[in-house]
C-alpha cells in the first residue's frame, strides 16, 4: 500500500464500517450518521490534500515557459486552472486556489536540485493528516503571504504553526474569524490603512423598484457599529416581548422573521430621529463596547475590537468612538483584567454582562453577538443556589441555552475574571470520552 494514500484508505474503511448495514443515507441510525459524517469529512480533507498536490504538479508541467509542451495545452486547455476546473467540476477560481495551496505545501528544490522543505511545512503536515481542508489551508496561506515581508522569519514560522493548530477544530467561517484577528495581531500597523480603504468605499444607494424602496450600501465597521447595535438591540427586545405572549399561535401573534424585524427596527429608528414616533421599543443592550489594551491606548499602537464584530479597528478609531455617546470603552491591563468601564461604575447586572461579553464574545457556544444572548447561571440560581458572579455565569443564545439543558451538556469555567476559559463538556451520547470543547473568545486567542 502506498504510504501516502494510507490515511485515505483508513478513512474509507471507517466509512464502510459506518455504512455496513444501511442501504442509503436515509437508512443510517443516528450513531451511523455521525460516524459516516466524520469519515466523509476526513475523506474530503484528505482528497483535498491529494488534489492540491496533483494540482501543483499539473501547474508546474503547464508553466508558460514550456510553450507547446505545456501539459494543459497538450490536453486542449488554456492553462492549468482551466484543466483542473473542467475535469473536477469546480470553478476556475477554486482551481487557482487549489494550485496555490499545493505550491505552498509541496517540497521544493534549490538551484542545484537539492530538495527543500515546503514553504509552509506546518500547514502541509496538518493538511496531509486530514485535519485541515484545502479551503482553510488556502486562507491561512493567503494571510501568511500577505504578512511574510512585514515580520521576521521566526515570527512567521511561529504564526504558521499556531494558525495551523488553531484552525483544526474550527469551521471555515470560524477560520475566517480567526484569521481576521490574526492579521491584526501580526500586522497591527496595517489596520488603519485598511480602515481608510473601507472608509473610502463607504456608500449607500436607494432606489425604487417594483413598488419597494431598495437599499444597497457598505459602512466601515467602526461607523456601522452603532447602527448594528441599535437594530440588534431592538430585535432582542422584540424577542423578549414574544416570550411573554400567552398564546404564540394566536392570529395577532408576532410571526415576523428576523430580517423583517431588522427592517422594522430601522424604520422605527428613522421615525424616532425625525420626532414622528417616540414609541419605538426599548433598545435593551443596544450599547457599543470597544475594547483596547492599556499600553496600545497610551502609545497609539496596536488595535482595538468591537463587540459582535470580527474586524479590528485602529487606535485612532477607538479614540473617536470612545468620545461618542452610547459607546463604552473597555480598557484592559496586561493580564486581561478590566481597568476601566468608561462611564459604567457600578458592578451590577449590566456591568457583569459587559464583563461576560468581554470573556465570551457573545454566545460562548455558537458565537452569536452579545446583544443576541442572555447571561445564564451555570449552577442554577434557585435549584443549585448558584451565585450571580462571573465564575458562575455564561452568555448563551436561547437555542444553545435550551440545547445545553435539554441534552445533558455541562459547562466548566477555568480561571477567573474575563481571562477565564469556558469549556463545554458533551454528554456521553455525543462523545463517550466527554472531551471538553473550548468556547468563548478563547478559541480565537492566538496567545493562549
Q: What is the pLDDT of residues 150-195, one digit of tens each?
A: 889 999 999 999 999 999 988 999 999 899 889 888 888 888 888 8
The larger pLDDT score, comparing residue 366 to residue 335, is at: 366
With a cut of 70, say whether residue 337 has pLDDT above it: no
Confidence at residue 128, expressed as pLDDT on a 0 to 100 scale: 92
Note whether 16 and 124 are same-domain residues. Answer: yes
Average pLDDT (134-151) is: 93
pLDDT (mean) for 68-83 = 92
Q: Domain for residue 159, yes or no?
A: yes
345 pLDDT higher than 50 = no
Q: What pLDDT score was predicted for residue 332?
A: 62
The DSSP element (H or E) to which 110 belongs, if any, is: none
Closest CA to 441 of 388, 364, 375: 364
In a domain, 161, yes or no: yes
Check whether residue 137 and residue 213 sit in a common domain.
no
The three cell numbers of residue 425 are: 463538556
In a domain, 293, yes or no: no
Q: What's the whole-number mean pLDDT along residues 285-314? A: 75
Domain identity same for 140 and 232: no
Confidence band of 278 (pLDDT split at 50, 70, 90): very low
Residue 276 reports pLDDT greater than 60 = no
In the chain, the percentage of residues whose pLDDT exceeds 70 is 84
Written as nine digits, the cell of 220 is 466601515
**Alpha-carbon gap, residue 104 to 266, rounded angstroms:** 46
Q: Of 274, 309, 325, which residue constitutes the final position of a domain? A: 274
Q: What is the DSSP letter of 280?
A: P
> What would the grid cell of residue 144 be?
501568511
Residue 44 lies inside a defined structural domain of this protein: yes
- CA dist list (Å): 358 to 337, 355, 365, 420: 10, 5, 14, 10
| The pLDDT of residue 356 is above 70 | yes
Percent of the chain past pLDDT 90, that is, above it, reads 29
201, exposed or middle or buried, with CB in 10 Å at 0-12, 13-18, 19+?
exposed
In this predicted structure, what is the pLDDT of residue 58?
94
Instruction: Give residue 54's pLDDT.
Output: 94
Count of structural domains, the chain: 3
- Asked if the model's pLDDT at residue 418 lies above 80, the reply is no
Q: What is the mean pLDDT of the chain?
A: 82
137, pLDDT greater than 90: yes
Report the pLDDT averaged over residues 276-281. Answer: 43
Q: What is the gyration radius of the CA atoms in the chain, in angstroms?
A: 26
Do the domain assignments include residue 79?
A: yes
Range of the domain at 242: 201-274
Average pLDDT score over residue span 402-427: 84
Query: Do 78 and 142 fall into the same domain?
Result: yes
Nearest to 440, CA basis, from 424, 427, 426: 424
- Rounded Cα distance between 417 and 322, Å, is 23
Amino acid at each position: 500500500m502506498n504510504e501516502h494514500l494510507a490515511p485515505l484508505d483508513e478513512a474509507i474503511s471507517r466509512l464502510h464500517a459506518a455504512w455496513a448495514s444501511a442501504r442509503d443515507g436515509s437508512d443510517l441510525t443516528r450513531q451511523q450518521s455521525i460516524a459516516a459524517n466524520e469519515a466523509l469529512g476526513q475523506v474530503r480533507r484528505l482528497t483535498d490534500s491529494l488534489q492540491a498536490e496533483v494540482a501543483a504538479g499539473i501547474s508546474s508541467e503547464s508553466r508558460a515557459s514550456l510553450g507547446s509542451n505545456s501539459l494543459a495545452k497538450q490536453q486542449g486547455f488554456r492553462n492549468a486552472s482551466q484543466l483542473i476546473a473542467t475535469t473536477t467540476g469546480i470553478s476556475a477560481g477554486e482551481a487557482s486556489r487549489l494550485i496555490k495551496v499545493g505550491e505552498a505545501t509541496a517540497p521544493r528544490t534549490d538551484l542545484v536540485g537539492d530538495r527543500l522543505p515546503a514553504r509552509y511545512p506546518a500547514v502541509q503536515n496538518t493538511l496531509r493528516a486530514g485535519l485541515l481542508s484545502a479551503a482553510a489551508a488556502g486562507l491561512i496561506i493567503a494571510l501568511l503571504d500577505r504578512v511574510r515581508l512585514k515580520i521576521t522569519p521566526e515570527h512567521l514560522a511561529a504564526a504558521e504553526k499556531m494558525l495551523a493548530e488553531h484552525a483544526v477544530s474550527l469551521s471555515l467561517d470560524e477560520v475566517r474569524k480567526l484569521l481576521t484577528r490574526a492579521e491584526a495581531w501580526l500586522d497591527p500597523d496595517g489596520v488603519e490603512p485598511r480602515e481608510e480603504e473601507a472608509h473610502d468605499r463607504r456608500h449607500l444607494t436607494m432606489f425604487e423598484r417594483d413598488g419597494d424602496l431598495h437599499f444597497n450600501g457598505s459602512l466601515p465597521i467602526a461607523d456601522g457599529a452603532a447602527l448594528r447595535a441599535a437594530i440588534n438591540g431592538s430585535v432582542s427586545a422584540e424577542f423578549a416581548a414574544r416570550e411573554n405572549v400567552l398564546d404564540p399561535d394566536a392570529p395577532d401573534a408576532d410571526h415576523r422573521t428576523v430580517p423583517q424585524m431588522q427592517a422594522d427596527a430601522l424604520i422605527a429608528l428613522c421615525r424616532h430621529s425625525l420626532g414622528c414616533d417616540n414609541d419605538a421599543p426599548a433598545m435593551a443592550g443596544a450599547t457599543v463596547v470597544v475594547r483596547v489594551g492599556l499600553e496600545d491606548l497610551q502609545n497609539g499602537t496596536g488595535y482595538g475590537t468591537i463587540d459582535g464584530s470580527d474586524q479590528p479597528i485602529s487606535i485612532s478609531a477607538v479614540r473617536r468612538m470612545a468620545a461618542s455617546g452610547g459607546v463604552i470603552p473597555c480598557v484592559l491591563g496586561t493580564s486581561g483584567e478590566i481597568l476601566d468601564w468608561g462611564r459604567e461604575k457600578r458592578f451590577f447586572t449590566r456591568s457583569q454582562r459587559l464583563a461576560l461579553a468581554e470573556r465570551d464574545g457573545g454566545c460562548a457556544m455558537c458565537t452569536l453577538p452579545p446583544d443576541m444572548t442572555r447571561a445564564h447561571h451555570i449552577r442554577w440560581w434557585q435549584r443549585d443556589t448558584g451565585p450571580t458572579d462571573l465564575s458562575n455565569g455564561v452568555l448563551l443564545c436561547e437555542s444553545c441555552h435550551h440545547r445545553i439543558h435539554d441534552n445533558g451538556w455541562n459547562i466548566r469555567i477555568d480561571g477567573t475574571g474575563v481571562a477565564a476559559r469556558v469549556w463545554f463538556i458533551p454528554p456521553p451520547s455525543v462523545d463517550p470520552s466527554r472531551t471538553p470543547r473550548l468556547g468563548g473568545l478563547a478559541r480565537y486567542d492566538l496567545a493562549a
